[in-house]
Amino acid sequence: MTSPFVARLGITHPLIQAPMSGSTTPALVAAVSNAGGLGSMGAGYLEPQAILEQAAQVRALSDRPFAINLFVLPETFDVDEVAIASARKHLDDLMEREGLAVRTVRPARWAPSFADQFAALCEARPAVASFAFDLLTPAQVRQLKQLDITLIGTATTVDEAHAWAELGADAVSLQSAEAGGHRGSFLHEPEQALIGLFALLPLAVRALDIPVIAAGGIMNGRGILAAEVLGAAASQLGTAFLACPECGAAEAWKRDLPKAAEHQVGTIRSFSGRAARGLRNTYVEAMRPYEASLPAYPVTNALTSPLRRAAAAAGRGDLLSEWCGQGVGMVRAMPAGELVKVLMDEYAQARKALA
Ligand SMILES: Cc1cc2nc3c(=O)[nH]c(=O)nc-3n(C[C@H](O)[C@H](O)[C@H](O)COP(=O)(O)O)c2cc1C
């Protein structure tokens, strides 16, 4: 039952392991690709050299297709010194109150250069490249096509999906409200572009003539089949892979995930300056009064980076950015290759039951 899109990607299953910046590892990506899905490297936070190294590590573990994903960002950012000073004070005060011996520092750069990351991606030449946060330029799209790299754009509304289709994307990853991690919105305020998958997916499928990938809250094979019934060419699962041993998420985060209930999952701006879905823990509640005034992404993201590293090292999940989607209660801790097999067995059984 391989869809033309899945066949084009050269994979066996209609299953994409979502790129998860800071959490995907070459071992995770390779395990998913070796099991017949499409593994994706979340490279948004990586410097160009690290992108090349990780791609080489994936290739040492797998000869199957895989994806590299980047956040499309400008080369320079608005820097409001007053807002930065105020954010640092609130963050440092919180660390002191919580007994964590770490303070914010002003980094040399707020984020890696997107132009350099893009050049590294082209050099690594994965089968698939996916992008979030904004559109590419037409010249960048041409470059990917010349290299025969399949292009997937991320959209959170039908308008955004249209924009990617017009630009020449080969497929759109449709990120619904349920999805874990950062919102990929670029034409609308992320907090306003929170559309559930059951509404968003058929709307986008009706409007587009390129394949649509369903992303958000899909945690089992039945979900993958449901997305297919609604018109998806494949499903992209992030949270489902977070508790896998190959995943690079902090141990405290992995421990907290299976205990989390859907009502504890919210849209959070205070870790990075951009809306993202995750667990509302101690940090989130403490920073809530300042959330709206924190500098926009990537400035707050860079300021909290050492704090999040220290929280992970101290096993303090309550102070970490514990990103996850609304389906988190269904997360399963098992090797990624095994999880792909379980998901696809469930998918086959659900299909049979409905036949
Ligand atoms: C921890 C985490 C990190 C993520 N990082 C990225 C990323 O770097 N790039 C991206 O395009 N999407 C990222 N996402 C969003 C996923 O691509 C996808 O939309 C989402 O995981 C789907 O929802 P689910 O988590 O409910 O499966 C991330 C999601 C999670 C959970």
Least confident of 2-6, 158-162, 277-281, 350-354: 2-6
> Considering its fold, how many domains does the chain have in total?
2
Identify whether residues 35 and 173 lie together within a single domain: yes
Q: Is 23 in the pocket of ligand 1 (CB under 6 A)?
A: yes
Q: Contact 50/355 with Cβ under 8 angstroms?
A: no
Q: Which of 21, 25, 272, 321 to mutate to test the pocket of ligand 1 (most atoms within 8 A of CB)?
A: 21
Kindly state the helix (H) or strand (E) to which residue 68 belongs, with its residue range: strand 66-71
Residue pLDDT, tens place only, 266-302? 999 999 999 999 999 999 999 999 999 999 999 999 9
- Which conformational region is residue 148 in: left (phi greater than 0), alpha (psi within -120 to 50 degrees), or beta? left
- How many angstroms separate the CA atoms of 167 and 251, rounded? 40
Identify whether residues 166 and 262 lie together within a single domain: no
Q: For strand 171-175 and strand 181-182, is the pairing parallel, antiparallel, or unpaired?
A: unpaired
Identify whether residues 174 and 285 lie together within a single domain: no
Beta-carbon contacts of 54 under 8 Å, excluding residues fewer than 6 positions away, are 26, 41, 43, 46
Nearest alpha carbon to residue 223 among 327, 87, 119: 327
Q: For strand 66-71 and strand 150-155, is the pairing parallel, antiparallel, or unpaired?
A: unpaired
Sequence letter at residue 322: E
The reported pLDDT for the residue numbered 191 is 84
Identify whether residues 121 and 148 lie together within a single domain: yes
| Separation of CA 25 and ligand 1 centre (Å) | 14
Phi first, then psi: give them for residue 341, nearest 5 degrees. -65, -45
Indicate which residue's Cα is closest to atom 30 of ligand 1: 181
With pLDDT > 70 as the criterion, what percentage of the chain qualifies?
Answer: 100
Q: Is 154 in the pocket of ligand 1 (CB under 6 A)?
A: yes
Q: Is 217 in the pocket of ligand 1 (CB under 6 A)?
A: yes
Quote the domain boundaries for residue 138.
Answer: 1-73+111-246+335-355
Nearest alpha carbon to residue 348 among 220, 236, 239, 218: 220
Identify whether residues 340 and 287 lie together within a single domain: no
Identify whether residues 134 and 280 lie together within a single domain: no
Residue pLDDT, tens place only, 229-267? 999 999 999 999 999 999 999 999 999 999 999 999 999
Residue pLDDT, tens place only, 176-234? 999 999 999 999 999 889 999 999 999 999 999 999 999 999 999 999 999 999 999 99
Q: Distances from the Cα of 175 to the Cαs of 92, 188, 238, 240, 310, in angstroms?
A: 33, 13, 11, 15, 30
Q: Distances from the Cα of 83 to the Cαs of 51, 79, 88, 190, in angstroms?
A: 32, 8, 9, 21
Instruction: Look at residue 89 and tell me whether its pLDDT is greater than 80.
Output: yes
Identify whether residues 88 and 220 lie together within a single domain: no
The reported pLDDT for the residue numbered 243 is 98
Identify whether residues 88 and 226 lie together within a single domain: no
Local confidence band at 70 (pLDDT 50, 70, 90 cut-offs): very high
- How many angstroms separate the CA atoms of 232 and 15, rounded? 11
Instruction: Look at residue 114 and tell me whether its pLDDT is greater than 70.
Output: yes
Identify whether residues 151 and 278 lie together within a single domain: no
- Which conformational region is residue 22 in: left (phi greater than 0), alpha (psi within -120 to 50 degrees), or beta? left
H runs (alpha helix) in 173-212: 197-207
- How many angstroms separate the CA atoms of 75 and 316, rounded? 33
| Separation of CA 63 and ligand 1 centre (Å) | 24
- Which conformational region is residue 284 in: left (phi greater than 0), alpha (psi within -120 to 50 degrees), or beta? alpha
